[in-house]
Chains A and B, each alone.
Chain A
Amino acid sequence: MKHPALISFAITFLVGLAAIIIFPYYTVNPGVLIKDHLNLQNDCFACHSPGQGALTQKCIECHNISEIGLITTTGVKRDHINFKSSTLHQSIIKIQCLDCHTEHNGLSRENATLNFRHNVLPEHLLSTCEKCHSDKKPDDNLHKIINADCSNCHQTEEWERVEFKHELIGDIVTDCSGCHENKKPADAFHNGLGKTIQCAQCHTTEAWKPSTFDHTKYFRFDRNHPSNCSDCHNTKENVKTYTCYNCHEHSIAKIEKEHLKEGIRTFSNCVECHRSGDEDQASGKGDERRGRD
């Protein structure tokens, strides 16, 4: 044999070519067609054009866009009209079938739309998710009270990444515990706030932390008066109550003596006049009282 390599090549190539011509589906197809296209499995050129792949023109020879979802490719009116498919196909223009559809991915029709991306939709459909996904709205309490479109919080490409907007739930936005029942911190401060205090009095939905609570409005901390809650709030059940008589400087007898000397007889609520540890910064209420006295 003078040219064994050439002969091996020629035989393999010709046998392969013959196999392709006789059994195209088994020799060259990259994957199983969907069930509805199985009748085309040995007719590659039913969908493909040489050098151009599967062109839209070939698809719409069978799939008339205006009839998709309404009438089958054989011209029979559908028993169950597919509004979703119909609305979708009649709303999108200027794109190729293969931008959303694919083939050779298995028998399931689901696999044939794996390339679909919502960005092909016109704006009016992108903001009305329920037109296509009316059955997908969750049945939980939160979604029951929201009437706004899904797109206000969800994104089509990453549905789980939610940017929830509290204003969508309307007036009940101040009833935090309605949704966040178990979220109240179990620390002494929050436990001591009492049941009448609402989260929204200190927190906002725009930024939960930091809270708007400002202790300096009641009393300013300093080196001798650190922010150790239990120093003043010795009743854990209610931080609205406090006492200044817990240290050696503020004994009842001493405080009473100093205030009576100034003519102040009502001094049980210290922070009413003393908003800091600096006694010279006491507000004028004591003077007013002294004047009355």
Chain B
Amino acid sequence: MTAKFSIKNILPLVLIYLAFVAAAAVVHLVLHSAGQKWILRYLGIAGTLLILTSFIYSLRKRKIISFGKPKLLLQIHEAMAWSGAVLILAHSGIDFEAVIPRAAVFAMLIVVASGLTGKYLLKNARENIKSRRSELKAKNLSEEEIEKELFSLSLLADKMQMWRGFHIPLTVIFAALALLHIIITLLFWRW
């Protein structure tokens, strides 16, 4: 399987990343200018919950749970992780000082970029196996079975496997740093 480099596929993902940073900046600035800076603190909690919920896809993919269509859950994972990351980036703002939360945000920025890279690889892989659709159709398989087969094949692509080797460790690094930040906040903050 060969993945062709395509500007047409990359450009939307670059725009999604820029939109992610811009959305966080807008949320942060709007709350700041409205004198509602305190809300930013709680956006960190909301963003974390969104990202944690998005991992239902990972549980489904590892067959820990059995409900939900993987393709739909992947889309939900992308949307919720993106939204959660927006809230966390808005929460972090530009005035944080400490190394741990700063490193956590930096890791999150990389994870979001990595996630979009995975999206790009997946799309490319799916385009490359499009040609196999007709072959499967010739076998008289139903449309649903063909979709399932193509989706499974795209996930099994070698480059996707290699990408997972980066994306998952990066995600757990982000998770570890975020967890430290949460523990420290619970320890020192007056709730």
Take A4-B165, A51-B186 as given contacts and tell me if A29 and B97 are in contact as well, using a CB distance cutoff of 8 Å.
yes
Contact residues, B67-107 vs A (CB, 8 A): 95-101, 103
A30 at the interface (CB under 8 A from B): yes
Q: Which residue from A6, A8, A16, A44 sits with its C-beta under 8 Å from B180?
A: A16
**B165 proximity list for chain A (CB < 8 A):** 4
Contacts of A8 in B (CB 8 A): 169, 172-173, 176
Flag if B96 contacts A9 (CB, 8 Å): no
Asked whether B175 is an interface residue with its Cβ less than 8 Å from the other chain, the reply is: yes
The verdict on A53 contacting chain B, using a C-beta distance below 8 Å, is yes
Q: Is the CB of A26 within 8 A of B189?
A: no
Which residues of the other chain, A, contact B172 by a CB distance below 8 angstroms? 5-6, 8-9, 12
Most central of A27, A48, A50, A54 by chain B CB within 10 Å: A27
* CB of B34 closer than 8 Å to a CB of A: no
8 Å CB interface, A2-29 against B = 4-6, 8-10, 12-13, 16-17, 19-20, 23, 26-29
Q: Is the C-beta of B5 less than 8 angstroms from some C-beta in chain A?
A: no
Which of A4, A27, A48 has a CB less than 8 Å from the CB of B100? Answer: A27
Is B184 among interface residues, defined by CB-CB distance under 8 A? yes
A31 at the interface (CB under 8 A from B): yes
B98 and A9 within 8 A (CB):
no
Q: Mark B21-59, 1 if CB is under 8 A from A, else 0.
A: 000000000000000000000000000000000000000
Contact A31 B97 (CB under 8 A): yes
- For B104, the closest partner residue in chain A by CB is A16
A44 contacts B188, CB within 8 Å? yes
When the two chains form their complex, are residues B179 and A5 in contact, meaning their CB atoms are under 8 A apart? no
Q: Are B175 and A9 in contact (CB under 8 A)?
A: yes
Query: Across the interface, do A50 and B187 meet the contact criterion of CB distance under 8 Å?
Result: yes
Q: Let me know if B139 is at the binding interface, CB within 8 A.
A: no
Min CB distance, B93 to chain A, in Å?
Answer: 11
Contact with A along B164-185 (1 / 0, CB 8 A): 0100110111011101100010
Q: What CA separation (Å) do A166 and B133 show in the bound complex?
A: 87
Indicate if B190 sits at the interface (CB-CB under 8 A). yes
Chain A residues in 8 Å Cβ range of B99: 19, 23, 26-28
The CA of A17 and the CA of B181, in the complex, are separated in Å by: 10
A232 contacts the other chain (CB 8 A): no
Contacts of B184 in A (CB 8 A): 20, 28
Instruction: Please judge, given known A-B contacts A27-B98, A28-B100, whether A51 and B168 are in contact too, CB under 8 Å.
Output: no
- Residues in B with CB closer than 8 Å to A16 are 100, 103, 176-177, 180
Q: Which residues of A contact B180 (CB under 8 A)?
A: 13, 16-17, 20
Q: Is B190 a contact of A32 with CB atoms below 8 Å?
A: no
Instruction: List 8 tightest A-B contacts by C-beta distance, closest first.
Output: A53-B190, A12-B176, A9-B172, A8-B169, A13-B176, A16-B180, A27-B99, A48-B188
- Identify 5 new A-B residue pairs, CB closer than 8 A, beyond the known A29-B97, A30-B101, A53-B191: A8-B172, A8-B173, A28-B98, A53-B189, A104-B97
Binding site for A on B (CB under 8 A): 95-101, 103, 165, 168-169, 171-173, 175-177, 179-180, 184, 186-191
Q: What are 29 A-B contacts with C-beta separation under 8 Å?
A: A4-B165, A4-B169, A5-B169, A5-B171, A8-B172, A9-B173, A10-B176, A12-B173, A12-B177, A16-B100, A16-B103, A16-B177, A19-B100, A23-B99, A27-B99, A27-B100, A28-B98, A28-B99, A29-B97, A30-B96, A30-B98, A30-B101, A32-B97, A48-B188, A50-B187, A52-B190, A53-B191, A98-B190, A104-B97
